[in-house]
Structure 1
């Protein structure tokens, strides 16, 4: 042992104590005491010290949650006190009947009332029923020594190595006074935000995604390799105890509060209720807030709060008489897939829709569900006639989650995409994805099938015009879906441009129109002739171009002419525009019909506002090195591209260098493979032509490295992403969004770790919960208005 060991041991002990305290405040009290960066600094210091002094590493150290060696199989653990399941209440009447039985069983304990103590109320504990995996944790003398699954209630699996990796499970109990043996029971679960992040990582790595947070939590906890469990965002919440040496408290709520004082997390929604009416009120309240909670729940658990009364009531069969789970209406159900029909959207996408045998899911009758696209149909392996699992969450469109394969009937039929459009009869073609890699173009099949009829297809025409006139697009008041359908069906319009040729006589003759409504509609159409460039781009309905992408195009390139002329490779220099979207934009403006409609709109008085030059931040923004790297020349990445740029100074110089083998051979910084690849790349005329075309457009747009740089006026929120949630009372969301974008911020629809700030009004729900979970800054409306005032807005 070295001379520094006493000092190291003292510092290690101090760090462990500090980290344990921070974990307790973060996970149990929900009162973080230090920023994440400070926690990470302390944690990394402890890791470094333990690495230098491995003899000082102990099992309860916060660093020992990373998981050890993988197991070949789980061992079996017999529960000394069985882990019983709960009885269920599905209707209000079921809960009232449970309460009646409890009061009947406690007739001798309750104050006098009717024959069965009917005049008295029983106090219950109330807590949400988490949708996760039940586990048992055994502590001996305050140290975590074992973890087990519920299993069949009598025998579970030994998951000790895995539970040690769950961040909010204390490896050593806090405080003092805990019994020599304490078995804690609870639920391991995954928050909604953690589940989304995990699935995103799985997609990126090509791994399997999970259907829901419960499956993700169960699958993560039952990994033979604890390192995998350690990488998953699991959490624990305790709801009771099993074996305990001694008494902890006289009530269930008191017991949980005692566990909390020892560092074990309990539900923040834990409450007491006096009588069945208070229980029903709790059930309705948390049911209304269910979607805004940070985690999934499938009901509420009510328990007689008095522990002595629990013992008196006892058990029946495999469930206690003193507790019940009042379940919410199921969000997943089984039903039969009767057929698959195909709908046509405004971009021509032909989408499969499941027609189902009607079934009640989460209190709503569901007869249709989305199948997304044919890749999803293939992934699910679904066939017409199958029994399928349907899931519905909140207001989200129901979706088919899985197939019950062993119930497949003999006459099940495969799902086939129609060869002709079900609306117009035009050909249906699968989209193709064009990608460039290592200087070569590759074509692969996309997930979407499209009708090629374009606006000759009634479904596409109607949907395209409905989108064109919508509030966030051209915002033509009075042009609802039904009126658009009338105009198309009567042949008065055949494209968005025809809206601007409508006459008084044509409109007033339509069903439901009189003099005033006709004049109002024509006035609204006329008033829409001066849209902002971004609104107009969005209104065109370019596939995969939403409001934010339309704003990027308008702000960056400054004119419809540049946007329509931009090559896909040039578009990818703009923020958040990838290759696939770039090709969609380019192909849209290459289409002769689309160009005709835009030309007609111009001729009929369309005057775009806020057009100008390429934004200053993009002037001379493309370097020669970046340009060369983006050409995807095999074996030439950023470093090699920089060497070429320094040597040649221009694209013409690079091309000349590629043809001068002697000069190229002595160039340092490129290996032989890269040099040979450069020669081969520019020996192909089409590659030279493509590179020169891109350079010419960069020059025309002023983005070329030789272009004149412009001074960029900094905006205070440039580069930040903000999110709005709840009801904003002082101004509309659209106005708030415009003000934030005017300050340089991007306004997103979901909260992530990259979110700079969330503006939360009354009624804020899941976004606020996620912001709190991720530690994202939150402003209420008053604070936000003060911020705007500070910026002179």
Structure 2
């Protein structure tokens, strides 16, 4: 769907270029819409889903790159009280806690700033870096030296509370009143111990509202470009090549957590944040510790009421499980911790006119309608475009060009249309196209789907270019220097028509040199970046091919099981020998032997093997089978593998007694939840399965184990209890 591309573009403009086209609320609305669609239609999850991505890769920049020792994650969002309650309930379920067990959490305002990590060694600041894509950020050490809130050396022995940037800011904080049932915010006095030898303090660089207004007034007086909002001003000010520019800008900093640390001298989030404040780094004065969901929501509402009076912009409240040992057990999902959540503030609305409906063709051929609007100000941001999602959404709202509509920005992101105010007015209905606007091929919706897609595949110029852009993008091969503009240029010249053509560009060096913007050094840099991907990560390569429903996570799950791409191809091809896939004995493409060198599988065996992988369902199996059943796709696949040689996909795990085994958990688990047990098995190099078979290597049985325990005994499979499993986990290297 077009949402993935829109979110990717918004991430690039927001995180890498500090030039957002949409507001935070609009962006959240896009992400929210994407999450809702993926939850409602898991079989439609796209290969380029942004749900597993954090921020954006560091673009070409005069600032150096810094690899984060501990990944800087983002947070999942909640928008309703019910979602907050479900978040707390999920924590209880994962940790196998009773309903009466206290689950304490911290709650603090979510500042709308630029994430930054400060690395202190022996109490001295040695490096500062932006978040970037969570793994690699930009080195801004020289720039943060000019931010008064960020000490060059931590202090200890006596608490020094953070000071307001102005008398006005102090008065604004004084207006805030937390619910009486909550513990006081961070700021108690008293001595504190020396900080750890290594400590990365993480937080937000921001600009106060009053400072932002003064900066824009000065910009206007000089005839310079105005900043869109305080966050944009802060990001642009911090990411300056010339640190003197940063020094002239009134930037501030508030810490909200930590990354790498040689020691964490606290048992809770709240206690550790108090220590950070006592070491001289400002922490939000609105940070409190709550012991119930009701307290979390009360604090959320209190902050929401005081939001207009706070000295800086916020877009919600962040909740974190307080106990650090529980945080460690909860761990992470694709891009966010299970132990944290951002509770966003409600959406803002505005009315405007729908002036046109344009159709954009995406990488998979989907026709996405985009509404062009009469510009309207929503929450301080001018909105000119809105996604209309698909044909059914246009029909549901009865949209036509000229209608008056209501827009909603949920959590400060790209807006969505929530109401058509003039749908009853007599006017010709909008007719969704039945042919692709790019290549004039027929456009249809598959049975059971709402999306209309161009049927031309790689023949369609829009799809070909988009697929190439996806292939070289950050989640896929991540080829630096081969951006959208270059791909379009080389495609129009006839040099790029398939992924394999990228690796043949070295033969066109003399043709590229001398073209506008291309000199010897830039061409050599591009070709070197391409050559560096001759042995790509197999999962990234698989994801880069853009097979429908094969996202980055699914690609990794498939390769964890099959290790090599030929082995995956073999099992995918074998699925067509099933009654559902065509019947008859196992069919081998063009009579070749199985690609993985193993005996032929029946279709039923191949399908069962794929379905045994967590996260792989019938839709993914069908997508793989269809991809390798199409001769054109096989030709693209073989052409590409003639140019690249991905190594076997080996996942680094802890050395353990169960590495490589299939583990089945049965019965009641008393010290952990089933999800936690599966996560532990994967971390030990094992694979958790839901049923016992001859391939099962170990069964962990708790009280109440029944049929599976009997099956294990009949097959002679080793059975242990939960305590023995805990010892295996403890002794893993």
Whether the TM-score (by the shorter chain) exceeds 0.5 is: no
TM-score (norm 1): 0.34
The higher radius of gyration belongs to 1
TM-score by length of 2: 0.37
Q: 1 or 2 for the larger relative contact order (CA 8 Å, sep ≥6)?
A: 2
